[in-house]
């Protein structure tokens, strides 16, 4: 019943798109019902019904434990984005509300799909509506089209995957069927493209930078989460992994995931635009998620019963990082978007003084999300990354030499990624939320609902971190909660049985709060005697351009790694700037240029008004299709 109400409210939001505030409100209420349905579905799997389209071809909705967990995570982000959009959506056309509701509607269909046809339907709803949402920002056609190109690449891969499922089993059902190797390969490819895993990540950068901030939050958090859920769904159709030696899949996932995490963090360090840095952070976080899935599958595929607990820990690590990324990245994009809209700035270096100029809540949102991505305890980001490192530390238990080797190098990449993520977040937070006030006054914008949304996510980033042991119990992993040395059960997290590593975010928060009281009291007592002075500049006043800037913060790294960054120094009007390039984007630019050239030649040959050429073309296509189907 809750699912029908949620879907009905999203549909009503589409109908009432001409009244933006009503449409976004309906989306928020619908998301609350979706959250409730996700919680219910986690514990009580159900089927809503089946509609037969053709013999053995039907569409079915329902929910199981996995889809319930992921819908719960996504629905929290949907609620925050919808509430935020009530105010933020006033700056954009009315049809943004329509496409936002349709996109969330499609995502909910994906979670509830129990067959390939329904899954593809929801996938296309989400992709097309997200493309139209990106277009709401002026001058975003190129970035929106790139998003659509990668989105349709993902869809085509899914079509091939589900076709192989149908050819083997005679229907598209998830409940009755088992997948093939082709299904696993093609579906995995489709989902890592949607997650923005290296080297299929370039769509993320342009789309996030150009899209409205509420859309950026939707693309970065719930939309890429669909890829994570998709991998879980695909793997659930591959039973008895140890019997078919799928350890290679896990090893590849570790390799691609750790490389993606490193690449995303490396480019986040050098990012100068407000929304480019969080975009690369998304690539880093999704890389971590894929690496954790890889560890779990490598262990499961080995068939060693003694490693079952390690597989379970790596699996729940995936979910915790997904929670961390969804909550923290939604908060980061929404808070940055709030400040960006108020100050009308696009670069990190120009968005200074958010705390005093825009407000304490958006500045707090940037600060808390940045600290979470920097693995600052006891926030949820710290918990997820601690669990990931613990999973890698236990890789010595692998019996396969190649798995040990890949995991060793992967752990180095992950550790570097975590360090560089903290480096980049210090830049973002330090120059925006906590940067010195440059005197620019923020324009007055309606922001009550934006602040409510940001504060809601701030509380959750704290809450999920401090009370993570109860989250583990909710997910069904109570074996990783315990008590030890004065820490009562279940406030202690353990990473293995017998105990391998432990942490207690709740007690860390208590101890930190107590210790913080003393320096706070000291500061409050003596703050009237604190003097603030400008940095020494040889006795000369410091000009606006002489403060240590965000580009200067990472310039040394950009110069030292100039072959990786493809660093170029540009001098314009007596000012030197450093530009970097993601060389993967250079490859795609070259590919695009080649395709356009080939397309031009083919169009001249095939579309020249010659009937014989048309007939030959149609015949050749029919032969190819026949051979493929055969």
Residue 339 within a domain: yes
**Cα end-to-end distance, the chain, whole Å:** 44
Looking at 220, 255, 284, the residue that finishes a domain is 220
- 528 falls in which pLDDT band (50, 70, 90)? low
Say yes or no: 510 and 395 in one domain.
Answer: yes
| Residue 225 CB contacts under 8 Å (≥ 6 apart), including other chains | 70, 73, 74, 77, 322, 325, 326
Say yes or no: 516 and 559 in one domain.
Answer: no
Residue 518 within a domain: yes
Quick one: which H or E segment has residue 50? Answer: strand 46-54
Mean pLDDT of 218-235: 94
Residue 460 within a domain: yes
Distances in Å between the Cα of 599 and the Cα atoms of 144, 593, 605 are 21, 10, 10
Burial class (CB in 10 A: 0-12, 13-18, 19+), 101: buried
Say yes or no: 90 and 166 in one domain.
Answer: yes
Report residue 291 as tokens.
């690496």
Q: Of 93, 130, 92, 125, which Cα lies nearest the Cα of 109?
A: 125
Say yes or no: 158 and 75 in one domain.
Answer: yes
| Domains identified in the chain, total number | 4
Residue 296 to residue 301: CA distance in whole angstroms: 9
Q: Which of 391-400, 458-467, 490-499, 585-594 has the highest mean pLDDT?
A: 458-467
Say yes or no: 283 and 192 in one domain.
Answer: no
Say yes or no: 574 and 599 in one domain.
Answer: no
Distances in Å between the Cα of 577 and the Cα atoms of 346, 358, 404, 549, 607 are 17, 28, 43, 12, 47
Residue 225 within a domain: no
Residue 319 within a domain: yes
- 110 falls in which pLDDT band (50, 70, 90)? very high
Give 561-612 pLDDT, tens digit per residue: 888 888 887 777 667 778 888 888 888 888 888 888 887 887 777 666 677 7
Residue 479 within a domain: yes
Looking at 189, 220, 251, the residue that finishes a domain is 220
Residue 242 to residue 608: CA distance in whole angstroms: 56
Residue 25 within a domain: yes
Looking at 185, 220, 255, the residue that finishes a domain is 220
Spell out the long-range contacts of 527-531 with Cβ–Cβ below 8 A and sequence spacing 24 or more: none
Domain carrying residue 67: 1-220
Report residue 215 as tokens.
């859309």
- 629 falls in which pLDDT band (50, 70, 90)? low
User: Alpha-carbon Rg of the chain, whole angstroms?
Assistant: 25
Say yes or no: 309 and 208 in one domain.
Answer: no
Residue 315 within a domain: yes
Say yes or no: 195 and 337 in one domain.
Answer: no
Distances in Å between the Cα of 58 and the Cα atoms of 19, 93, 120, 184, 618 are 36, 37, 13, 22, 31
Say yes or no: 71 and 202 in one domain.
Answer: yes
Q: Which residue has the tokens 């993570």?
A: 468
Say yes or no: 369 and 420 in one domain.
Answer: yes
pLDDT of 243: 58
- 405 falls in which pLDDT band (50, 70, 90)? very high
The predicted model scores a pTM of: 0.92
Q: Of 66, 48, 45, 69, which Cα lies nearest the Cα of 4?
A: 48
Sheet order of strands, 502-503 included: 481-484, 487-494, 502-503
């Amino acid at each position: 019943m809750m699912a029908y109400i949620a879907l009905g409210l999203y549909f009503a939001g589409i109908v009432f798109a001409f009244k933006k505030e009503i449409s976004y409100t309906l989306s928020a209420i619908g998301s609350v019902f979706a959250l409730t349905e996700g919680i219910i579905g986690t514990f009580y799997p159900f089927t809503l019904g089946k509609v037969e389209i053709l013999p053995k071809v039907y569409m079915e909705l329902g929910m199981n434990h996995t889809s319930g967990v992921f819908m719960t995570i996504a629905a929290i982000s949907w609620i925050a984005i919808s509430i935020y959009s009530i105010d933020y959506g006033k700056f954009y056309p009315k049809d943004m509300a329509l496409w936002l509701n349709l996109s969330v509607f499609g995502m909910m269909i994906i979670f509830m799909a129990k067959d390939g046809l329904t899954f593809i339907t929801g996938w296309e709803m989400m992709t097309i509506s997200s493309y139209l949402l990106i277009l709401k920002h002026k001058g975003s056609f190129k970035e929106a089209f790139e998003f659509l190109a990668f989105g349709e690449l993902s869809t085509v891969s899914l079509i091939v995957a589900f076709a192989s499922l149908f050819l083997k089993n005679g229907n598209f059902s998830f409940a009755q069927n088992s997948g093939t190797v082709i299904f696993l390969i093609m579906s995995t490819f489709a989902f890592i493209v949607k997650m923005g895993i290296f080297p299929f990540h370039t769509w993320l950068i342009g789309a996030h930078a150009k899209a409205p901030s509420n859309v950026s939050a939707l693309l970065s958090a719930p939309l890429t989460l669909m890829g994570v859920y998709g991998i879980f769904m695909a793997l659930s159709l591959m039973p008895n992994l140890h019997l078919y030696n799928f350890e290679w899949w896990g090893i590849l996932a570790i390799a691609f995931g750790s490389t993606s995490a490193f690449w995303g963090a490396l480019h986040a360090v050098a990012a100068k635009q407000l929304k480019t840095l969080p975009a690369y952070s998304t690539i880093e976080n999704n890389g971590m998620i894929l690496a954790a899935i890889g560890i779990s599958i490598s262990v499961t595929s080995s068939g060693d019963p003694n490693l079952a607990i390690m597989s379970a820990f790596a699996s729940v690590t995936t979910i915790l990082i997904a929670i961390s990324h969804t909550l923290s990245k939604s908060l980061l994009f929404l808070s940055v978007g709030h400040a960006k809209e108020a100050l009308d700035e696009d670069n990190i270096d120009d968005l200074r003084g958010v705390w005093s100029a825009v407000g304490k809540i958006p500045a707090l949102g940037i600060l808390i999300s940045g600290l979470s991505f920097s693995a600052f305890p006891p926030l949820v980001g710290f918990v997820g990354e601690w669990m990931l490192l613990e999973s890698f530390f236990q890789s010595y238990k692998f019996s396969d030499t190649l798995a040990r080797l890949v995991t060793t190098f992967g752990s180095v990449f992950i550790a570097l990624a975590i360090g560089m993520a903290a480096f980049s977040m210090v830049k973002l937070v330090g120059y925006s939320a906590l940067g010195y006030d440059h005197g620019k006054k923020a324009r007055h914008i309606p922001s009550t609902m934006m602040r409510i949304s940001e504060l809601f996510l701030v509380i959750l980033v704290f809450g999920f971190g401090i009370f993570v042991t109860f989250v583990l119990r909710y997910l069904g992993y109570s074996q990783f909660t315990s008590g030890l040395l004065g820490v009562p059960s279940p406030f202690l997290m353990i990473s293995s049985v017998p105990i391998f590593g432990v942490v207690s975010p709740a007690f860390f928060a208590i101890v930190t709060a107590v210790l913080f009281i003393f320096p706070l009291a000291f500061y409050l007592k003596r703050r009237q005697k604190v003097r603030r002075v400008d940095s020494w500049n040889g006795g000369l006043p410091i000009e606006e351009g002489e403060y240590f800037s965000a580009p200067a913060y990472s310039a040394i790294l950009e110069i030292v790694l100039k072959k990786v960054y493809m660093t170029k120094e540009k001098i314009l009007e007596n000012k030197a700037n450093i530009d970097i390039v993601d060389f993967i984007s250079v490859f795609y630019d070259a590919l695009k240029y080649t395709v356009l050239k080939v397309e031009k030649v083919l169009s001249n040959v095939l579309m020249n008004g010659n009937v014989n050429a048309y007939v030959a073309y149609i015949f050749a296509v029919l032969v190819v299709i026949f051979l493929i189907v055969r």
